[in-house]
Chains A and B, each alone.
Chain A
Amino acid sequence: MRPAPILSAFRQALGEAWAGGAGALLPLGFFAGAAVLVPLGIGTDPQTLRAVGPGILWVALALSSLVTLERIFQADTEDGALDLWLQTGAPASAIAGAKTFAHWLAAGLPLALLSPLLALMFQAEASTDLLRNAALYALGGLAFYFWGGVGAALSATVRRGGLLISLIALPLYVPTAIFGALSMTHGPGSESAPLFLAASTLFALAVAPFAMAAALRLAAD
């Protein structure tokens, strides 16, 4: 197996995410916008905001991840680049995984990095470890992007497949959302929740690339 095509796919996807005018900023704006709107909707009671804050951020993170996923495979399918990637001799699963990982790095990781700032808007307690939470958001976001990538690959040949991606990916987001939100509470099971969150991300990393590869082969067929 030659690693060169996989590295190239990674670099190309990373460049792609920023090409054509800061496309990676779009989920960031969506994430911040959604988080800012919630306090306006439910009022400014600090107790309430503190209780719902982490959960709202998980939901906002899940939805923001869907904003740009449509682009990762659709353009390749339309302009013929997918045919070239499938003929590099490298496993299609590795190519798809590399592209999705690059996409998470460009569009998903910034969301996690912004989360401490948004947490402050939700009246996070001074004792809250915001950096730990940011790391958990990053970890969960990785799972979101990989499941979303499966949806993106399945709908690569569908015009305006964004909605389809959501329908395919959202059910797969459930375990990550549950354990992610649980890991930020003090309720029962919250100590082991980060481990379950990590497990759900590892599962996504292990399974999603093969599902993407199968879907992309079908799209090229």
Chain B
Amino acid sequence: MRRGVTEPLLSANGLGMIRGERVLFTGVGLSVAPGESLVLRGSNGAGKTTLLRILAGLTRPEAGEVTRNGLHHWFAHREGLKPHETPRTHLGLWAKAWGSDSDLDSVLVQMGLKRPADVPARYLSAGQRRRTALGRLLLEKRPIWMLDEPYTALDAEGRDLVLELIEDHLKSGGGMIAAIHGESGFVPTNEVVL
């Protein structure tokens, strides 16, 4: 595994995980430096999401340790949207919770959510819900992005949008870890195959 000269934003070594009676993975080590991207690969059920949750500190690994230098953004299958929340109220809630003062309207426009901005999530399409949750990444600048299948349910335009966001983030010295099943659309700095 290649290591940057700079201090890594996130590093992990010797990670091992057991689910039930099955060993998901052992001895996983990785590191992400500023400007680097890491893609987790593996078939369904290989443990990509579990590894990502371990890196985020949500799940405790059976072995190994994770070091994060800085805050991270989390974007996963379950968007964290309540049925009665609108894109505007959802992003407003998290902007407040994180103490960020970013302009909600510009985030909504950037995510292509200007029209459904005030529509409750139960009436939104899957893609619109994903876009809403992705909008959280723009509310506050955080060095590490953790994305679990960021392209799911997005149309071609949404995919391009995510790619653009990722590129901007990496260019500005951020790091990213993503579990991606198909085509990633960019050349990752590193890959971990489970």
Contact = CB atoms under 8 A, between A and B. Distances in A.
B partners with A: yes
B74 A83 contact: yes
Contact of B93 (A12, A19, A87, A89): A12
B6 to A, nearest CB: 24
A4 B99 contact: yes
Which of B53, B56, B81, B98 has the most chain A CB within a 10 Å cutoff? B98
B105 interface: no
A79 B80 CA distance: 5
A75 B53 CA distance: 19
A135 to B, nearest CB: 32
Given A20-B84, A81-B82, A84-B80, A5 B98 contact: yes
Interface string B56-71: 1111100000000001
A134 to B, nearest CB: 31
Contact of B98 (A19, A88, A221): A88
Contacts of A2: 99
B78 A5 contact: no
**Range class of the B interface residue count:** 20 to 34
B97 A80 contact: no
For the complex, would chain B's binding face be called helix, strand, loop or mixed by DSSP majority? loop
Contacts, number: 60
Contact of B72 (A11, A87, A220, A221): A87
B59 A79 contact: no
A86 B99 contact: no
Interface string B72-110: 101011111111100000000110111100000000000
B52 to A, nearest CB: 11
Interface in A62-87: 75, 78-81, 83-84, 86-87
Contacts of B53: 83
B82 A80 contact: no
Contact of A81 (B56, B60, B80): B80
Contacts of B83: 20
A157 B80 CA distance: 15
A7 B98 CA distance: 11
**Range class of the A interface residue count:** 20 to 34
Contacts of A57: none
A220 to B, nearest CB: 5
A79 B96 contact: no
Contacts of B56: 83, 87
B82 A19 contact: yes
Nearest to B72: A87
A47 interface: no
A88 B53 CA distance: 15
A86 B58 contact: yes
A8 interface: yes
A84 B98 CA distance: 11
A8 B72 CA distance: 19
28 contacts: A2-B99, A4-B96, A5-B97, A5-B98, A9-B97, A11-B96, A12-B93, A16-B82, A19-B82, A19-B84, A75-B82, A79-B81, A80-B76, A80-B77, A80-B78, A80-B80, A81-B80, A81-B82, A83-B53, A83-B78, A84-B94, A87-B57, A87-B72, A88-B97, A88-B98, A89-B71, A220-B58, A220-B59
What 9 A-B pairs have minimum CB-CB distances, sorted nearest first? A80-B78, A8-B97, A81-B80, A4-B99, A80-B80, A19-B84, A5-B97, A84-B80, A8-B96
Given A83-B80, A88-B98, 18 more contacts: A2-B99, A4-B99, A5-B98, A7-B96, A12-B93, A19-B82, A79-B78, A79-B79, A79-B81, A81-B82, A83-B56, A83-B76, A84-B74, A87-B56, A87-B72, A87-B74, A220-B59, A221-B59
